[in-house]
């Protein structure tokens, strides 16, 4: 029996055309231009999903900006309704609503022209800008809640606009009984690079050098933007109280920046009042983040109402023990003794939990090892992609 002849050029074109026609288009609009944890989670998803099954279309609000650069390897299009979107901090008025509806018409036409099957929304402003347009275009709408479960849009718009709601934790699931999108909601934890390997001794040495401190210094880390929800002021106060509980030098390292001048002023005033300039160091944003987290002896997470913090899971993956406020997604992430939880907004309680880890290094090492094993087993990018694609298939069916 002779071997089949090679496909002709025309046959190859027909096969490629048929394959392209069978792909389903998933559209990812993004508002603003600040890259955050949600964008990294989406990147982890896009790197895993089957390109022969799904066509990815990223629509950044700012062409050529930071978000556009992050997703440079994926097809992109210009947001046709960007002039009519919601602006952060502005009051929601009837005039603003009518302006947003004007943008919805342009976005509806765009979704139809691009033959979009599913619009996957990942932040509040994108939901406000694109949800109505998606329903007008007849596309399926996946509302991915990575924030406050009590957000107005999630509570009042998602129930009749979203076909499916996905939350990053049980805490982030929609609330309410009579009027809620909870019935069409499910939890899919955020993805992480579970193959991450960091030499903690090397990272700590680099951090000691960057800080200019002695090797016996206890390094307590805060990682994240300086915003009210993350409680940077509680971190400073807790570090101050920890200094009175342990008999060694302490440095509180703060990786991040203030989003507003008011927060920066508030933080600087507190540091001055506590005379903490010598032992609170603002490090700015530094990459790779996991490396600097690995250099810390303890990651202190005072954030409240955090849906599912990325830095907390990254600390687990690199083997840094975690102390966190007993609030929001922190409770779910550290369940089963994967870290220590303390009363939220209580600097003394947070300091006492940190002191326990310092005084009992064997206990701290055991917690860190258990947390690392759990995180590697539960938060892989592959697992996340499989669960999200299962949602896609349900919507497409």
pLDDT-based confidence at 159, cuts 50/70/90? Answer: confident
Angle at 115 between CA 111 and CA 119, to 5 degrees: 55
Q: In what order do the strands lie in the sheet with 218-223?
A: 280-282, 250-255, 218-223, 298-301, 322-325, 340-342
φ/ψ (deg, to 5) at 165: -115, 130
pLDDT at residue 95 above 50? yes
The domain defined by 200-378 carries CATH number 3.40.50.2000: yes
Q: Specify the pLDDT at position 15.
A: 44
Calpha distance 279→90 (Å, rounded):
38
Angle at which helices 124-137 and 94-113 cross, to 10°: 60
CA-wise closest residue to 182 among 147, 130, 145, 135: 145
Average pLDDT over all residues of the chain = 89
pLDDT at residue 91 above 80? no
> What single DSSP character describes residue 3?
P
pLDDT at residue 16 above 50? no
Q: For residue 373, how far is the Cα from the chain centroid?
A: 21
Q: Specify the pLDDT at position 83.
A: 64
Question: At the top level of CATH, which class does the domain 9-191+381-396 belong to?
Answer: alpha beta
Greater model confidence, 137 or 157: 137
Map tokens 């406050």 to a residue. Answer: 148
Q: Specify the pLDDT at position 2.
A: 47
Q: What is the pLDDT of residues 181-202, one digit of tens each?
A: 566 789 999 999 999 899 999 9
Intrachain domains 9-191+381-396 and 200-378 with the same fold: yes
The reported pTM is: 0.81
Q: What is the pLDDT of residues 329-375, one digit of tens each?
A: 999 999 999 999 999 999 999 999 999 999 999 999 999 999 999 99
């Amino acid at each position: 029996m002779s071997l089949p002849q090679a496909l002709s050029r025309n046959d190859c074109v027909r096969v490629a055309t048929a394959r392209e026609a069978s792909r389903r288009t998933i559209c990812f609009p993004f508002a603003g231009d600040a890259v955050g944890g949600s964008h990294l989670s989406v990147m982890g998803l896009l790197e895993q999903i089957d390109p022969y099954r799904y066509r990815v279309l990223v629509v950044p609000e700012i062409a050529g900006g930071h978000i556009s650069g992050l997703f440079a390897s994926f097809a992109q299009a210009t947001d046709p309704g960007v002039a009519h979107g919601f602006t952060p901090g502005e009051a929601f008025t009837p005039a603003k609503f009518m302006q947003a509806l004007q943008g919805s018409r342009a976005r509806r036409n765009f979704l139809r022209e691009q033959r979009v099957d599913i619009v996957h929304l990942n932040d509040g402003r994108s939901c406000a800008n694109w949800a109505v347009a998606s329903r007008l275009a007849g596309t399926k709408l996946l509302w991915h809640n990575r924030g406050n479960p009590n957000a107005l849009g999630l509570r009042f718009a998602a129930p009749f606009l979203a076909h499916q709601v996905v939350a990053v934790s049980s805490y982030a699931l929609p609330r309410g009984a009579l009027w809620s999108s909870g019935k069409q909601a499910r939890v899919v934890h955020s993805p992480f690079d579970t193959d991450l390997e960091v030499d903690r001794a090397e990272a700590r040495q680099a951090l000691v050098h960057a800080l200019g401190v002695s090797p016996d210094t206890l390094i307590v880390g805060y990682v994240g933007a300086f915003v009210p929800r993350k409680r940077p002021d509680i971190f400073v106060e807790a570090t101050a109280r920890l200094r009175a509980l342990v008999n060694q030098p302490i440095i509180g390292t703060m990786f991040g920046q203030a989003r507003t001048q008011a927060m920066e002023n508030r933080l600087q005033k507190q540091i001055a009042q506590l005379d903490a300039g010598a032992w609170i160091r603002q490090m700015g944003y530094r990459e790779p983040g996991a490396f600097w987290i690995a250099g810390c002896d303890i990651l202190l997470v005072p954030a409240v109402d955090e849906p599912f913090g990325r830095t907390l899971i990254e600390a687990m993956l690199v083997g840094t023990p975690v102390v966190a406020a007993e609030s929001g997604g922190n409770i779910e992430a550290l369940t089963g003794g994967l870290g220590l939880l303390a009363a939220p907004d209580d600097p003394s309680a947070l300091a006492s939990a940190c002191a326990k880890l310092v005084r009992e290094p064997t206990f701290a090492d055991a917690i860190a090892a258990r947390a690392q094993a759990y995180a590697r087993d539960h938060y892989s990018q592959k697992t996340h992609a499989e669960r999200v694609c299962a949602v896609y298939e349900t919507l497409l069916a």
